[in-house]
Structure 1
């Protein structure tokens, strides 16, 4: 397979509050055939991940507001793609802290852009090597909805759907028990694994979010049905 074929569709998210660094990294990454999404802070990075399929994240550590360490841990709650830190901190403990937060590599500033692109390629090769599809041992299919409990991936009409960990757990619980009605209290206790408080609307909010992401018309859902006065079912 040609290099252009391998890279087609691969997107790199560049997160750095320094506009010059964002531009420099973006130029070198694009020259290697990748698509680039560049944003100046962690909050915009998290938003970008919800709206685009990202194959690798280049993440600055020192940013105002939410720093790179916090952003990395937040990303790791829902995503498995490689994360490469950029940082002016070069001490061993800084690198260890960064890697322990969930990053796959750590590049110190000032950096050689060619070395960074080489590390991007290396991380992507390694990631896709271990992501080679295997025969799934637990795939739930309801109509056009596909829930893979092993990889925690969801697809609707073949399109990947990004769910938060709790949203996935709720969907998987209902899909695993197709036709069974679960009360709000039961869903909360099984997913959050803690006592349910009567005034808590957390489950309802998560169900609404799942419908927004999986249904063509969330107001008339065909997957997660409301059983009035009882709970929810698929």
Structure 2
């Protein structure tokens, strides 16, 4: 698998490159924002590790540019410990973030959690796995979503959230439960990031801010799926 590591800190690039190559990954590096965008488009990495503070184009801008053409998983690497700053990246389509200073082992664990979310659903009988709500159709075999017949791209986190909601219609999930089930870890302080993923998912499902159909907020608790649902 190819990993694009984007950081202007040479030490971080060397440490992550050495560690990931030791784990069997092929590593591509970039030191500024537009170089990262070009390499993401030309080389097709399987995942992007993206620093926020970059020359020429910051990490948020890089994330936005990549999301114009690709749903490749993105993990933001940030020295900013402010929740508002972290949420910006998630709302632009990042799947996760790691706060600096970090250990390469933590980064690898986050990568593996995302790759597990990318694994197709298994079915012993090899049959069709289709989940529906309203005009939204989720095909678990191809991991694809269509809305009224139109394909809609989802990030790995958005896909897992929608799959979870569709598999448990009407069940209320707290933010901490969602982050644990979808991202394979549950750290207090991280659960508010679910709101950003839900916001992005609602947009893709065609919801307006004033009428967020399908995924309903249960104030003080979390979220649940509503609407006509079929399995």
What TM-score do the two structures reach when normalised by structure 1? 0.52
User: Quick one: distance in 2 between partners of 1:121 and 1:150?
Assistant: 27
Out of 93, 102, 105, the residue aligned to residue 93 of structure 2 is 102
Contact 2:51–2:59 under 8 Å retained in 1: yes
CA distance 1:57–1:132, shift in 2 (3 Å): farther
Unaligned runs of 5+ in 1: 1-9, 139-148, 153-234
CA RMSD of aligned residues (A): 2.4
Give the structure 2 partner of residue 43 of structure 1: 34
CA distance 1:111–1:50, shift in 2 (3 Å): same
What TM-score do the two structures reach when normalised by structure 2? 0.53
Contact 1:82–1:127 under 8 Å retained in 2: no
Out of 9, 18, 27, the residue aligned to residue 18 of structure 1 is 9
SS of the residue aligned with 1:46?
A: helix
Contact 2:120–2:143 under 8 Å retained in 1: no
Contact 2:145–2:152 under 8 Å retained in 1: no
Structure with the bigger RCO (C-alpha within 8 Å, sep 6+) is: 2
Report which of the two structures shows the higher radius of gyration computed on alpha carbons: 1
CA distance 1:20–1:135, shift in 2 (3 Å): closer
Unaligned runs of 5+ in 2: 122-138, 154-231
SS of the residue aligned with 2:89?
A: helix
Q: Which runs of 4+ in 1 moved over 6 A?
A: 135-138
Contact 2:79–2:100 under 8 Å retained in 1: yes
- When the two structures are aligned, how many residues end up with a matched partner? 133
User: Quick one: distance in 2 between partners of 1:135 and 1:127?
Assistant: 8
